[in-house]
Amino acid sequence: MVVKVGVWGFVCYSVCLWAADQFCKKYLEISPGREGLFLLLTMISSLAINLAGSWSPIPSIFLILLRHLLFMGWIILLFQGSGEKKFLAASLLVTIVTLAENFFVSFFSCLALLWMHTVNKIPEPFVNGWRAGLLEAVSVIMAIWTLHRVSEYLVCVFRGKSGKWYILLAVPLLAVVAVNDAASWGASNGVMVRSGGNMDMYYDQIFSHCEFLLLTVLSAFAAGAYVFGMNRVWLEQEKSSRYHSQIAVYKMLEEQYRQSERQRHDMKNHVIALSGLLAGKEWEKMSAYLENLADGILETEGEVTGSRAVDALLQRKQNQAEKENIGWECDVQVPGDCGIYEFDLCVLFGNILDNALEACAKLPKGERRFIELEAGQVKKFFLLEGKNSMDRNKEYIAGASDKENPWEHGIGLLNIRDVVKQYNGVIDIEAEDGIFRISILLPLSKPHMTSEELFETGN
């Protein structure tokens, strides 16, 4: 973050420091007392570095790097959260402000030089005095605006990653900042693009500022492509991992359902055996037989949807809801030969119910907690509608969650959207008055593959 000596520098840095504080509070937490301490210590350290630069022959590049390190250190020390996450927040903040301010300083300097040369007819103009102060102020305002706009797209970057991911994202950003700081230091010491003696100082300044414009644009593009590209890679890895884990879960659910069917099929033989023990008054053997039978029976009361995998999934979610005292209403009918894979149906039902159970579990005691699920054929479409209670004081944000692993909620919705897109369907989500609603409409077509074939491909 660039700081210049004087009133303009102090005012600009104060405003920029306030914007930095707001940026950090968006992704990290800090107590009011520590927030004031952060602002005070950052300002004092910056003024001390300015004074050191004025009174000592220390190269400015070292002072710039020291200012960045102290600024990042105060963020890591005073804000709350994991050290890696604080390191990433500080790195992003320094990168955005440095690149934005360098870009706008060069951009407005070019405009000022062009104006003074063409309009004011100054042969070799220089931006100094009040013009330099005004240019600095405008550049800081534009840098703050850039920081605000970019921060709107960084929520996904801070959500749910492990410490090593934060470090991998942060380190290349600091390298970009170091390159730009070195270039800025070189320009301040007379190193600039020159015309080789064929043109005067005016054109040398124009060429030098254009060089900085190109450097900052390329740096910003590289930093953005890296951060959001790495975030995309992480997201695809998590989606793939969860997808394959769901295959194993749903395969297990269907196997449990098959086992329960076999047990029901054998129930006639069990009744005959128990009748024989009863007739012989063999009470101990009868008791042991009943205990063994009870241990092996899988509860199968619940919905009969037309899909064995969906039946098993809904039964498990219903049991979980009943254990947590969550009201449960379910009316699901899967049309035969509907053309929707059983696995994809389980992705839809499973993720909808997982999010609903999570939302209900976080409601305070005394509030009504419920889950309602309806699904069936409507003309040539399969309509799935889910509704559940949620915290009415909490605003719903797509992809956000307060789970221990926050990415799970966003990944679940992404998996739902992937299935809907696969079948050319539509999805609608609403959240108001403490009720979350999701509606999915999928066109019905010819059948594709049985669940057995699908699970075989996943082996």
CB-neighbour burial class of residue 42 (10 A; exposed 0-12, middle 13-18, buried 19+): buried
Kindly report the CA angle at 82 between 78 and 88, in degrees rounded to 5? 85
Q: 429-448: buried (b, 16+ CB within 10 Å) or exposed (e) per residue?
A: eebeebebebebbbebeeee
User: In terms of DSSP bridges, do strands 381-389 and 370-378 run parallel, antiparallel, or are they unpaired?
Assistant: antiparallel
- How far is Cα 428 from Cα 419, in angstroms, rounded to an integer? 14
Residue 372 above 90 pLDDT? yes
CATH homologous superfamily for 302-458? Histidine kinase-like ATPase, C-terminal domain (3.30.565.10)
Instruction: Give me the helix-helix angle, 201-265 and 342-361, nearest 10°.
Output: 100
Report residue 391 CA to chain centroid gap: 21
Of 368 and 260, more confident: 368
- How far is Cα 92 from Cα 154, in angstroms, rounded to an integer? 9
Kindly report, as residue ranges, where domains of CATH 3.30.565.10 are found in the chain.
302-458
Q: Give one DSSP letter per residue of 82-147, joined into a string.
A: -HHHHHHHHHHHHHHHHHHHHHHHHHHHHHHHHHHHHTS--SS----THHHHHHHHHHHHHHHHHH
Residues 414-428 have a mean pLDDT of 88
Residues 243-250 have a mean pLDDT of 65
Residue 389 above 90 pLDDT? yes
- How far is Cα 260 from Cα 136, in angstroms, rounded to an integer? 75
CA nearest neighbour of 166 among 249, 258, 254, 92: 92
Alpha helix ranges (H) inside 266-372: 267-279, 283-296, 308-323, 342-361
Which pTM value belongs to this model? 0.59
Q: Which of 92-101, 136-145, 192-201, 299-308 has the lowest mean pLDDT?
A: 192-201
Of 398 and 87, more confident: 87
Of 232 and 195, more confident: 232
Provide the pLDDT for residue 13: 72
State percent of the chain over pLDDT 90: 18
Residue listed under structure tokens 């390159």:
179
Which residue pairs, CB below 8 angstroms and at least 24 apart, start in 154-157? Answer: 154/27, 154/92, 155/399, 155/400, 156/231, 156/235, 156/399, 156/410, 157/88, 157/92, 157/227, 157/228, 157/231
Q: What is the pLDDT of residues 117-126, one digit of tens each?
A: 888 888 878 7
Residue listed under structure tokens 């359902």:
257
pLDDT grade for 115, boundaries at 50, 70 and 90: confident
Task: Report in angstroms the alpha-carbon separations of 304 from 313, 315, 321, 388.
Answer: 11, 10, 18, 22
DSSP code of residue 302:
S
Most confident of 180-184, 225-229, 263-267: 225-229
Provide the pLDDT for residue 151: 86
Kindly report the CA angle at 432 between 430 and 433, in degrees rounded to 5? 150
Residue 382 above 90 pLDDT? yes
- How far is Cα 313 from Cα 297, in angstroms, rounded to an integer? 17
* Paired residues of 426 in beta bridges: 441
Provide the pLDDT for residue 233: 84
Instruction: Give me the helix-helix angle, 163-188 and 83-118, nearest 10°.
Output: 30
Task: Report in angstroms the alpha-carbon separations of 40 from 63, 71, 132.
Answer: 19, 11, 27
Residues 161-181 have a mean pLDDT of 87
Q: CA 215, 217, 218, 223 torsion: positive or negative?
A: positive
Residues 53-81 have a mean pLDDT of 83
Task: Report in angstroms the alpha-carbon separations of 102 from 116, 221, 324, 414.
Answer: 21, 14, 56, 38
Q: What is the pLDDT of residues 184-212, one digit of tens each?
A: 777 666 555 555 545 567 777 788 888 88
* Paired residues of 439 in beta bridges: 385, 428
Residue 19 above 80 pLDDT? yes
Residue 4 above 50 pLDDT? no
Question: What rounded mean pLDDT belongs to the chain?
Answer: 79
